[in-house]
Amino acid sequence: MDRWLNSHWFARSVALLLAIMLWMVVNFEPESGATTEVAQPTFIEGVKITPYYDSERFEVVKQLQTVRVAVESTNPFFRYNNFFTTDSYEFFVDAKGLGKGTHNVAVQYKGFPEGTVVNITPSVVPITLEEKQIVEKDVSIDPIGKVALGYKAGEAIVKPFRVHVKGPASQLKNIGLVKATVNLEGAKEEITDTVPLKVYDKTGSPMQRVEVYPPTVEVKVPVTSPYLLIPLKMNLTNDLPDGYSLASIVTSVEEATVYGPQDVIKSVTTYPGPDIDLSKIKSDLVLQLKMPLMPGVVKVEPEFIEVSLKVVPSETKRLENVPLRISGLADKLTARVLAADGQEVTTVNFDVIGAPQNLRGLTVEDVQVLVDVSSLPVGVHEVPVTYNPLPNYLKVAPTAVKQVTVEITNKP
């Protein structure tokens, strides 16, 4: 026996015998009257029907959705339900050559192997086709969320603002609106977005059997903070070189549009312009300068301003007998300005330096000479002198009195 099993001729003989037996099982038909195994049908419930139709012209508005299927096969490999998967077969109705209206159409199938018997219940189903129409509708914007605190959203700009909606006539008459949703949450600047469109019926429910052309629109929503128009004040630093005076400053704007939270911009009375250092300027000059941003301010318009400075040789004008004014004196006190010899002084003389055209109309009434004695007690004090105001870029000559002696006493 061991020799037979180890013989290659024995193995070949067994393989040939098995091959012959398998061929006979597959190819020999049972004789008439012989008993065979009866194929049991496989039932598939709730099979979906796919409609094929001219979707450019029509829409299916009514159709039986599912059918019951019984599958029979004498092939043992396809006799059991686990061999039939939903992606291996398809049931459909072919309505591509049909026009509008209701039609009874036979249910067809594909994807089953040869030798399979398929019974469909019902085998004919009604399908209703409705012709598509096109209407034109305005686009509505649905903003969601809130812009950042202190900011304001403007009116949305939609492009295109009218679109075409295609669908069955019975559906089109129920259109409520075509809507684009834009998210504004936390925005601090203009929002630009391409937004998909959705169609809603008159009850506010989304509509499924309609198409929108174009399917998206471009939406721009301006977002700004509160703003005020505030007078502009140039910030001049240092003096012009000796012998030169500023005749005039002309700016391209006199007011700035200042954007920012209401509590910030409301407290600003004049907006400081760019710093201009005068220390090296000896002739006319035109500058393009960027506007500064104050703390808390979001934006200033214009962003840049043009500043024209006119510089001329200086001249001097003498003002005489300008009254000395004492300010800040308590009600129960009295004060007087004393000269070096102890005599009371009530006026001063001094020179003013500036452009000739600015000095020409200057008078004693245009300048106040102040001596501030606020909080000073009874006694004799050396107090600074303030020349205020000096209009049109004028300045007091270095020779002017800078401080005086003030005697403060109690009122009798």
Residue 375's identity, in one-letter code, is S
Q: How far apart are CA 126 and CA 353, in angstroms?
A: 104
Range of the domain at 148: 132-224
pLDDT above 90 coverage of the chain, percent: 53
Residue 31: what pLDDT?
47
Tokens 């070949």 belong to 12
Phi-psi region of 108 (alpha: psi -120 to 50; beta: other; left: phi over 0): beta
Sign of the torsion angle spanned by Cα atoms 399, 402, 407, 408: positive
pLDDT of residue 333: 92
Flag whether pLDDT at 125 surpasses 60.
yes
Give the pLDDT confidence of 147-157 residue by residue, as tens digits: 887 788 889 99
* Cα–Cα distance for residue pair 385/362, rounded to 1 Å: 20
Euclidean distance between CA atoms 201 and 172, whole angstroms: 9
Residue predicted with more confidence, 160 or 35: 160
Q: How confident is the model at residue 38 (pLDDT cuts 50, 70, 90)?
A: very low
Average pLDDT, the chain: 86
Q: Does 45 or 39 have the greater pLDDT score?
A: 45
- The mean per-residue pLDDT over the stretch 166-192 comes to 90
C-alpha angle 124/53/71, rounded to 5°?
Answer: 40
User: Which CATH number covers residue 174?
Assistant: 2.170.120.40
pLDDT of amino acid 85: 63
My answer on whether 380 and 370 are in the same domain is yes
Percent of the chain at pLDDT above 70? 87
Measured distance CA(355)–CA(392) in Å, rounded: 9
DSSP string covering 45-98: EEEEEEEE--TTTEEEEEE--EEEEEEEES-GGGSSGGG--TTT-EEEEE-TT-
| Alpha carbon separation from 380 to 192, 327, 406 (Å, rounded) | 71, 16, 6
Give the contacts of 6 (CB within 8 A, at least 6 positions apart): none
Question: Any idea which of 78-87, 111-120, 282-291 has the lowest mean pLDDT?
Answer: 78-87
Beta strands in 278-366 (DSSP E): 285-290, 299-301, 304-313, 315-327, 333-338, 344-345, 347-354
The answer to whether the CB of 281 falls within 8 A of the CB of 308 is no
Q: Given 248, 282, 313, which residue is the final one in a domain?
A: 313
Residue with tokens 């504004």: 184
pLDDT given at position 181: 93
Query: pLDDT tens digits, residue range 240-261?
Result: 999 999 999 999 999 999 988 7
Instruction: Tell me which of 167, 194, 224 is where a domain ends.
Output: 224
User: pLDDT band at 80, cuts 50/70/90?
Assistant: very low
CA distances 23 to 16, 28, 45, 76, 370, Å, are: 11, 8, 37, 16, 129
For the CA atoms of 247, 251, 255, 259, what is the dihedral angle to 10 degrees? Answer: -130
Rounded mean pLDDT, 85-103: 84
Residue 207 resides in a domain? yes
Q: What pLDDT is recorded for position 270? A: 92
Question: What is residue 285's predicted lDDT score, i.e. its pLDDT?
Answer: 94
Tokens 């059918």 locate to 67
- Pick the closest to residue 405 from 387, 385, 377, 375 (CA basis): 385
Contact predicate 337/371, CB 8 Å: yes
Whether residue 356 is found in the same domain as residue 367: yes
160-191 as b/e, with b when 16 or more CB fall inside 10 Å? Answer: eeebebbbbeebbeebeebbbebebeebeeeb
52 confidence band (pLDDT: 50, 70, 90) = very high
119 and 139 both lie in a single domain: no
Tell whether 138 and 117 lie within a shared domain: no
Q: How many domains does the chain have?
A: 4
The answer to whether residue 391 sits within a structural domain is: yes
CATH of residue 345: 2.170.120.30
- Whole-prediction pTM value? 0.49
Domain end: 85, 110, 130, which one? 130
Candidate from 4-8, 33-37, 298-302 with smallest mean pLDDT: 33-37
Residue-wise pLDDT tens digits, 332-350: 999 999 998 889 999 999 9
- Does a structural domain hold residue 86? yes
Q: State the pLDDT confidence band at 373, using cuts at 50, 70 and 90.
A: very high
